[in-house]
Amino acid sequence: MSRSIVVSRNAVVVRWLLMNLCKVDEVQLYLEKHRLRAGDRVYGQLAADAIHELKAMDVRYFHWQLELPVHLQGTVLNDSDLRELKPELTECQPDKSDISDDG
């Protein structure tokens, strides 16, 4: 059975994901790849190399993002700020550059 795993050291990201996902099975501060299984869903703000590794493991990855106005940079966002800023989750899909023609 697939699991939903939040990976982030950012308390704002974790809080938002816990409030907005239907189910969270686990929260990790750092990506623990050895604990993942094919079909798992990971949510967070991972670097491109980690995302590529997840794709190779057949783990779905959803990237948390928001546009942060300059006047809010460096501040701790509250729930009201997050509702107004409307963070988004975007599933990272393989693109054509990830597909080899080497048959």
- How far is CA 45 from its chain centroid? 5
Cβ neighbour number for residue 17 with a 10 Å cutoff: 21
List of residues 6+ apart from 17 with CB closer than 8 A: 6, 8, 24, 43, 44, 64
What mean pLDDT comes out for the span 62-88?
91
pLDDT at residue 78, as a whole number? 85
Q: Which residue has the tokens 């800023």?
A: 85
Residue 97 pLDDT exceeds 70:
no
What mean pLDDT comes out for the span 59-65?
97
Q: What is the DSSP letter of 88?
A: E
Q: Which residue has the tokens 């094919």?
A: 38
Residue 101 pLDDT exceeds 60:
no
Using one digit for the tens of pLDDT, what is the confidence trace for 15-50?
Answer: 999 999 999 999 999 999 999 999 999 999 999 999
Reading the block at residue 95, the tokens are 């693109």
